[in-house]
């Protein structure tokens, strides 16, 4: 009987619980044993484990953001002794395959671990940032975008009631503007500020001023472009008008998982187990709205 382990790593993302459920469900269906590793690679390095069974894993977890396995950013797989600890734990726990659920940083960790460990590892892309090369969409992205759109909706309804006010909405994404772009693609805003296409503050102020004169101004900014309170103050000085900040902060990370993130999560979790049962080390990527397996070492750009 095969024995697999699953962990979530890095920043948590809505839908991670769906992946865990999918992993557990598929493993159970295929008569494999499944072990939960708490707090990501830190827990793996420490050799920790938790039981994955009802009520810990129940259908109710799919409706909750975050991860029932908890995550951590502490273990650094660039350090040889951390890798060694992880390898030792996999061996001691008798793990035949590992599912790692996380973002870009976690994928780099997986690649380092693969160098030292022969245990097949299936990586599942779950991050609100949607910045995994080869995946068109990561688990958590759709939920974070919907959360952001709802915040802009609320702003707009008050903006239309008391005209000629300016608003700046800071959204998550670190240095990746995809969340902000997707929000802007779903609801018309006046200025989009993302790290990939820097705008001079005067230009931002000019566009907001123009919108302000007509009705009201809404700008959406990725967190990596500055601290909203300060940026709002600076813009306000240029514009000669108050700019009111809204900062989603980590509330956005805790957004309720959408149906799409749950469906992707369940499907990717199941695909990860299938890959491990085949004895291969593969990344699960998302192409055309469905999980696709990508053999490790394949040039990412060539994934069809």
Residues in region 233-292 near a second copy by CB under 8 A: 244-256, 258-260, 262-263, 266-267, 288-289
- Scanning 28-36, 101-109, 224-232, 295-303 for contacts with a second copy by CB under 8 A, the matching segment is 224-232
Nearer to a second copy, 153 or 196 (CB): 153
Q: Is 129 designated active site? A: yes
Strand order in the sheet with 282-287: 50-51, 33-36, 3-8, 97-102, 121-125, 282-287, 290-295
Whole-number minimum distance, CB 247 to a second copy, in Å? 4
Find, among 294, 286, 303, 299, the residue nearest to 141 by Cα: 286
Q: Is 175 an interacting residue with respect to a second copy (CB under 8 A)?
A: no
Catalytic residue among 129, 131, 142, 190: 129
- Among 91, 154, 175, 213, which residue sits at the site for a second copy (rule: CB under 8 A)? 154
Instruction: Please give the residues from 37 up to 66 whose contact with a second copy meets the rule CB under 8 A.
Output: 58-60, 62-66
Q: Are 4 and 276 within 8 A, CB to CB?
A: yes
In the range 81-100, which residues lie near a second copy by CB under 8 A? Answer: none
Subset of 11-40 contacting a second copy (CB under 8 A): 11-12, 16, 18, 21, 25
- For residue 113, which of 126, 125, 97 has the smallest C-alpha distance? 97
Binding residue (CB under 8 A) for a second copy from 23, 27, 71, 284: 71
Rank residues 97 and 148 by Cβ distance to a second copy and give the closer one: 148
Decide whether 60 or 84 has the Cβ nearer to a second copy. 60
> From the CB of 237, what's the least distance to a second copy, in Å?
15
For residues 21 and 30, give the distance between their C-alpha atoms in angstroms, rounded to a whole number: 14
User: How far apart, in whole angstroms, are the C-alpha atoms of residue 44 and residue 86?
Assistant: 5
- Minimum Å gap between C-beta 295 and a second copy is 22
Among all residues, which ones are annotated catalytic? 129
């Amino acid at each position: 009987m095969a024995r697999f382990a699953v962990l979530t790593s890095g920043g948590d993302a809505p839908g991670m619980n769906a992946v865990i459920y999918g992993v557990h469900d598929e493993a159970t269906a295929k008569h494999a044993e499944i072990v939960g590793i708490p707090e990501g690679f830190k827990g793996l390095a420490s050799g920790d484990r938790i039981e994955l069974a009802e009520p810990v894993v129940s259908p109710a977890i799919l409706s909750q953001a975050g991860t029932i396995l908890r995550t951590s950013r502490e273990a650094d797989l660039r350090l040889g002794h951390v890798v060694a600890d992880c390898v030792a734990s996999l061996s001691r726990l008798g793990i035949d395959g590992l599912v790692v659920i996380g973002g870009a940083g976690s994928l780099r960790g997986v690649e380092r671990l693969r160098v030292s460990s022969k245990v097949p590892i299936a990586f599942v892309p779950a991050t609100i940032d949607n910045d995994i090369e080869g995946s068109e969409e990561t688990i958590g992205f759709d939920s974070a975008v919907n959360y952001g759109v709802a915040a802009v909706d609320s702003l707009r309804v008050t903006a239309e009631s008391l005209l000629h006010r300016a608003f700046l909405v800071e959204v998550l994404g670190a240095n990746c503007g995809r969340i902000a772009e997707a929000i802007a693609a779903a609801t018309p805003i006046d200025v989009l500020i993302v790290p990939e296409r820097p705008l001079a503050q005067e230009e931002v102020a000019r566009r907001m001023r123009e919108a302000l004169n007509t009705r009201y101004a809404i700008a959406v900014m990725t967190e990596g472009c500055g601290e909203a309170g300060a940026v709002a103050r600076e813009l306000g000085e240029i514009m000669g008008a108050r700019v009111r900040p809204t900062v989603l902060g980590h509330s956005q990370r805790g957004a309720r998982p959408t149906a799409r993130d749950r469906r992707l999560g369940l499907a990717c979790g199941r695909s990860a187990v299938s890959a491990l049962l085949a004895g291969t080390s593969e990344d699960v990527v998302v192409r055309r709205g469905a999980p696709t397996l990508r053999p490790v070492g394949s040039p990412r750009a060539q994934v069809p």
